[in-house]
Amino acid sequence: MENKHRIKQSTQCIWSGEQEYLMQHATQVPVVHSVSFGYPDAEYWQKVALGHEKGHIYSRNTNPTVEVFENKICQLEEAQAATSASTGMGIISSTLFALLKPGQRVVSVKDTYGGTNRIFTEFLPRINVDVTLCNTTDHDAIEAEVAKGCDLLYLETPTNPTIKIIDIERLSAAGERHGAVVVVDNTFATPINQQPLALGADIVLHSATKFLGGHADALGGAACGSRELIDKIYHYREINGATLDPMSAYLLLRGMKTLALRIERQNQNALEIAGFLQAHPKINQVFYPGLESHEGYKIAVRQMKGFGGMLSFDLKEDTFEAVAKVLSRLNWAHCAANLGAVETIVGPPATTSHVECTKEERKAMGIPEGLIRYSTGIEDVEDLIADLDQALG
C-alpha cells in the first residue's frame, strides 16, 4: 500500500492502514463484532493459529477493526510494529509487566501519569522490581541513575499537570549506552507534535482515549516499536485480556482521521491562550512549553513540531476556592477529568491527576493549589479567550 512518495501525516491520518480491510467496496472500515473466525479447512486453521498464514482466530487476540487502528498509529509513529489495549493503563501495564522480571530495575520520573506512578510505587515492588523516580527535569540525575544499572527507562513528556519537558534524544542515548529499553508515553504530544522513536526511544505508548480519539467517547491504548518488543507486549496483553473493543477501535479510527487538523488548531489555540494568560493581572504563572519563559522551551523547540494543546496556569489567589470560582464561571469548557478532546476541558490537579495526594504532598511536588489544567479544544480562540477573561474578572 505504501508507494514511493512518502505521504505526509495529515494524509496518513485519513488513508493509512485501511485498504486491505475495506470489504465489498465499502469506503469505510467495518466494525467486526465477531468473537471468533471460522475455518472449515482444519489444516488452514492450524496454519493461521500458528501464525504461518495471515488471519484472525479469536478477538481477544486479534480482530480486523482493531488491527486497522494498530496499523494507523504504527504508520503515524513510523514504527515497525504496533499493538493495542483496552485503555492507556492497559497498554502501560502490559508493557511494564511484559518487559520486566523480578530483580530488574526501572528508572523513571516523579511526574508520570497518576496510574503509571501507582504501578511504580505499588505493583512493581510486589514482584521485586526496583523503581527509582528522579526529579522530572533533572537530566543529570536521570543519567546518573541509568548509569548505575537500568533495565527499563520510562519517560513521559510533556508531563501532567505542570507540562514539564524531558529531552528524549539525550536520555534515549543514555538508555542505549547502558542497555536499557527506553519507553516514552507520548499521549500529550501525539505523533503529530513529537515522534519519540525518531529521537532514539524503543517504545512509544499512547492513551488513545485522549488526543488520538479526540472526542472523549472511547477508551483505548497503543504501543509502537520494534517487532520483537511489540510481540512481547502483545503476548502479555493477549493473555492478560485487556483487549481493545472493536467498536472503540472504530471510534478511535474515526477520530484519528482529523488528528492532524485538530492538533494544528489546538497548538495554535493553546499558544495564543498561554500568551493571553501570561499578561493577565490575576495570573501568577503559565506553564506552556511554547513560551520562552518555560524552563523546557529550548528542548521543546528541538524535539517537538508543535507545543501541544495542554497548558496549565496558577492564580495569584492560591486557593482551591478561587479555582472553583473561576471554573464555575467558564461557559466553553467541561469541568472533567479527561483531556485532548474537541471541547475545551478544565480541572484542578486536586480533583484530577493528583486526587490521591494531600495539599502538602502537592506543594512538595511543585503543584500550587491555585493551578488549573487547561486542555484546549478546537473552538474559536477569540471565544475561549473572552470566556477566560470574564471568568477571571
Task: Choose the catalytic residue: 111, 151, 167, 185.
Answer: 185
Q: Nearest distance from residue 336's CB to ligand PLP, in Å?
A: 12
Active site (annotated) includes residue 210: yes
* Measured distance CA(333)–CA(246) in Å, rounded: 30
* Phi, psi angle pair for 371, to nearest 5°: -80, 140
Q: Nearest distance from residue 103's CB to ligand PLP, in Å?
A: 26
Name the residue nearer to ligand PLP (CB basis): 143 or 156.
Answer: 156
Dihedral sign for Cα 287, 290, 293, 295, please: positive
Active site (annotated) includes residue 60: yes
Residue nearest to ligand PLP according to CB distances in the complex: 88
- Using alpha carbons, select from 6, 164, 186 the residue that is nearest to residue 95: 186
CB distance 106 to 129 below 8 Å: yes
Amino acid at the residue 295: E
Q: Nearest distance from residue 139's CB to ligand PLP, in Å?
A: 20
Q: Name 79's Cβ contacts closer than 8 Å, sequence gap at least 6.
A: 197, 204, 224, 225, 226, 230
Name the residue nearer to ligand PLP (CB basis): 280 or 303.
Answer: 303
Name the residue nearer to ligand PLP (CB basis): 88 or 246.
Answer: 88
Name the residue nearer to ligand PLP (CB basis): 87 or 172.
Answer: 87
Q: What three-state secondary structure class fits 373? A: strand
Q: Nearest distance from residue 221's CB to ligand PLP, in Å?
A: 6
* Measured distance CA(78)–CA(377) in Å, rounded: 26
Dihedral sign for Cα 179, 183, 189, 192, please: positive
* Measured distance CA(235)–CA(195) in Å, rounded: 25
Task: Choose the catalytic residue: 72, 105, 111, 113.
Answer: 113
Task: Choose the catalytic residue: 210, 262, 265, 362.
Answer: 210
Q: Which residues bind ligand PLP (CB under 6 A)?
A: 87-89, 113, 115, 156, 160, 185, 187-188, 207, 209-210, 219, 221
Active site (annotated) includes residue 185: yes
Task: Choose the catalytic residue: 21, 47, 58, 60.
Answer: 60
Q: Nearest distance from residue 73's CB to ligand PLP, in Å?
A: 14
Amino acid at the residue 124: L
Longest dimension (CA), the chain: 74
C-alpha cell, 254: 474515526
Name the residue nearer to ligand PLP (CB basis): 155 or 174.
Answer: 155
List, by residue number, the catalytic residues.
Answer: 60, 113, 185, 210
